[in-house]
Each structure stands twice: as C-alpha cells, then as structure tokens.
C-alpha cells in the first residue's frame, strides 16, 4: 500500500509540472483530464502526509518512553505515544478507503429522470416532491439545473420529468439515488384520512462524451412537435420540441425546454448518449453482479431503495438499514447525511471485496 502511496505522491508532482507546460495549456481537453486526476489524488496525498507526520510523532514518543528517566517526561511521552498510535490507526483506515478504485464517472455531470409509478395522481405529486428535493439539494451545492422534458398532471404533479445537473463531482454524489422511492402519507385526495403507499422511480445517468458512445445517424428517428409551456399555460406556435427514437434499442428521449429546435436536439442527444451508456455499463457489470451481489447499486431503477413515511417523520434507506427521523428537512433538500452514509457504505463494501 505504501509503495502505491509514494507513486501517487510522485504522480502529483508530474501532473503539476505537465499543467505548467505550453503544450498542455493549449490543449483544453488534456488540461481538464489532468486537472480531474489532480483533484482525485490530492486528498490521498494530503492524508498520507498526515500519516507520515503521525508516524514520526509515534516513533519519537516511543523512543522517549523507552529511554527517559524522569517520571514527568515519561508521562508526557506516554500521552503523545497513545495519541499518535490512535491517530495512525485512523489515518491508515482512511488511506485504505481513499485507495479504493474510483468510479471514472464520479466527476461527471449527470441527467436525472423521475417517473411516477404506482399510486396514480399521488405518485405524480410525489414525483414533484422528489424533483423539488433534488433541485433544492443542487442549489445547496451550487450546481446548475436545466430542465429537459416533463409531463405534468392537472394537480401539479409530474408523470415524468427529466433534468440535467452541472456540478463538480455531481454523479459521484447522486448515483446511489437510482431506484424506486416509496412514500407513505395521506393523499390530498383522501377524504377519510387513510395512509396510502405510492412510488416513483429515479434514474441518475452520467453525462457522456461522443467518443464514449457511438451512434449511427441511420439508427435514429427524429420527430419534432410543439412544446407545451412550463405549467401548461402556452403552446409554442413553432415545432421546437424534439423527440428522438433509437431504433435498435427502442430508447426514446425528448427535450422541449429550449426555444430553438437545434438546442433541443442537442440536449436530447445528450440524454440518448447517457441512456445508451447506461445500457452498456449494465451489460459490462452483469458478470460482476453474478459473482457478488452489491448492496449499494447505482443503476437498477427497479430496486426499492427508500421509503418516506410522513406520519412518522421517518426516512428509511433499505440498502444500508439506515433510518432518519428528519423527513421534513430531507424532503426540503438536506440530503448530506443520507448521501454520505451511502458513499461510506459503498467504499467499505469495495474495501472488503479488495481484501
């Protein structure tokens, strides 16, 4: 492990030197790739430096403890020895987690789709709640959200809604949100006050470049239509909305947010690439999944992952057995604790698989 850490420390110096060269400075793509690699490696090296300092403190205090005659000095050395020993153990665990192979998609922007499931109008209203929850969280993180496509119901819910999110490390933070989300509450339409269970599915897709997914133009059927105004108030007089069908896979994507047909087509193609990439990754992971069923999944939108119980102010993530009693804050976009615990569980699981 420590040989690998020394190599990473050397690699950081190499990257910084490369970033200062004119050839890299003039190549934006290469500069972005190196910048991403640098940001990934810096936390590892910073923790490793802390580990080496703690190691020096440990060795120094141990030497004093073994050679000192003065009782007061021995007591001080014992305190330093115990503290540095504990710190070393914690930092070693932290280093192991940091060395877990990182998903290459983690730093990417992402596209999120939310679809109402069982529960009719209540499921559509729950989809709207989830959309609000995720956009609130994105605001807290300083991420940019762009609406792509939506289908509203008469009462303010969404049969489905798709939006793109731009923000550093976005996919790595949000990828565990893919799956079926359940809600248990008294619907607005329920006169007798009975608690109903409804569901919505969420899909989180990393945004991918053209080079990662090849699309043959002959495989596409592109249709245009008039976009409905947000909220259903107006209908454009021109056919600016775009629907693209990928004939080999049957995948259909649409975008109606932009005023220009060209821009909508560009965004719809982004969605299509993301969906085709998802299929490709799922196929690649099939053999791994057969060998080891992972607790924390990132792509299967059919798995029931979380329940939001309004009467008891409770949120339960079924994958890691986590229950929190702050549903109001979570549904208002305060997802930090939930997301961090999922990320820790994923890293721990990968670490156990490595060992």
- Structure-block tokens of residue 51: 């580990």
DSSP 175: G
State in words which class domain 2-98 has: mainly alpha
> What is the side-by-side strand order in the sheet with 196-206?
144-152, 158-166, 110-116, 196-206, 179-185, 304-309, 314-317, 322-324
What was the pLDDT predicted at 231? 41
Give the three-state DSSP class for 71: helix
What was the pLDDT predicted at 229? 56
> What is the side-by-side strand order in the sheet with 241-246?
220-225, 241-246, 251-255
Residue 267 burial (10 A CB sphere; 0-12, 13-18, 19+): buried
DSSP 310: T
According to DSSP, the residues that pair with 228 across neighbouring strands are 235
> Cα(352)–Cα(3) distance, rounded to whole angstroms?
20
- Structure-block tokens of residue 93: 């665990």
- Structure-block tokens of residue 211: 């080079």
Predicted confidence pLDDT, tens digits, the chain (355 residues): 888 899 999 999 999 999 999 998 899 889 988 988 898 899 999 999 999 999 999 999 999 999 988 989 989 999 999 999 999 999 998 888 888 877 888 989 999 999 999 888 999 999 999 999 999 999 999 999 999 999 999 888 999 999 999 998 899 999 999 999 999 999 876 767 889 999 999 999 998 876 578 899 999 999 998 876 554 444 455 688 999 999 999 999 999 988 889 989 999 999 999 999 888 877 766 654 444 455 455 545 567 999 999 999 999 999 999 999 999 999 999 999 999 999 989 888 887 776 6
Give the three-state DSSP class for 230: coil
What was the pLDDT predicted at 259? 80
> Cα(193)–Cα(37) distance, rounded to whole angstroms?
54
What was the pLDDT predicted at 235? 46
> Cα(280)–Cα(212) distance, rounded to whole angstroms?
10
Distances (CA, A) of 198 to 35, 45, 46, 160, 335: 44, 46, 46, 15, 21
CATH placement of domain 110-354: 3.30.70.1660
Domain boundaries, the chain: 2-98, 110-354
- Structure-block tokens of residue 133: 């929850």
């Amino acid at each position: 492990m420590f040989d690998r850490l020394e190599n990473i420390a050397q690699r950081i110096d190499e990257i910084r030197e490369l970033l200062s060269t004119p050839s890299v400075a003039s190549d934006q793509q290469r500069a972005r790739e190196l910048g991403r690699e640098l940001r990934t490696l810096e936390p590892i090296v910073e923790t490793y430096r802390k580990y080496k300092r703690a190691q020096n403190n440990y060795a120094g205090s141990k030497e004093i403890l073994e050679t000192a005659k003065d009782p007061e000095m021995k007591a001080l050395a014992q305190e330093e020895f115990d503290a540095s020993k504990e710190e070393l153990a914690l930092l070693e665990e932290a280093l192991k987690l940091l060395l877990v192979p990182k998903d290459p998609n983690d730093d990417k922007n992402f596209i999120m789709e939310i679809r109402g499931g069982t529960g009719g109008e209540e499921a559509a209203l729950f989809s709207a709640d989830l959309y609000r929850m995720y956009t609130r969280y994105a605001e807290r993180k300083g991420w940019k959200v762009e609406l792509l496509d939506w289908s509203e119901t008469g009462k303010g819910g969404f049969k489905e809604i798709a939006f793109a999110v731009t923000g550093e490390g976005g996919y790595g933070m949000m990828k565990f949100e893919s799956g079926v989300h359940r809600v248990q509450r008294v619907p607005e339409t329920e006169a007798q006050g009975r608690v109903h269970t409804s569901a919505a599915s969420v899909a989180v897709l990393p945004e991918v470049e053209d080079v990662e997914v090849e699309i043959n133009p002959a495989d596409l059927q592109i249709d245009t239509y008039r976009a409905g105004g947000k909220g259903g108030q107006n209908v454009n007089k021109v056919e600016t909305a775009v629907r693209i069908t990928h004939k080999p896979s049957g995948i259909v994507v649409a975008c109606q947010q932009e005023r220009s047909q060209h821009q909508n087509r560009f965004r719809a193609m982004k969605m299509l690439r993301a969906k085709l990439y998802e299929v490709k990754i799922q196929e690649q992971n099939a053999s791994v999944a057969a060998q080891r069923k992972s607790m924390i999944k990132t792509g299967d939108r059919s798995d029931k992952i979380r329940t939001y119980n309004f009467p008891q102010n409770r949120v339960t993530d079924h994958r890691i057995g986590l229950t929190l009693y702050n549903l109001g804050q979570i549904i208002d976009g305060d997802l930090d604790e939930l997301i961090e615990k999922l990320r820790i569980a994923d890293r721990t699981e990968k670490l156990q698989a490595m060992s």
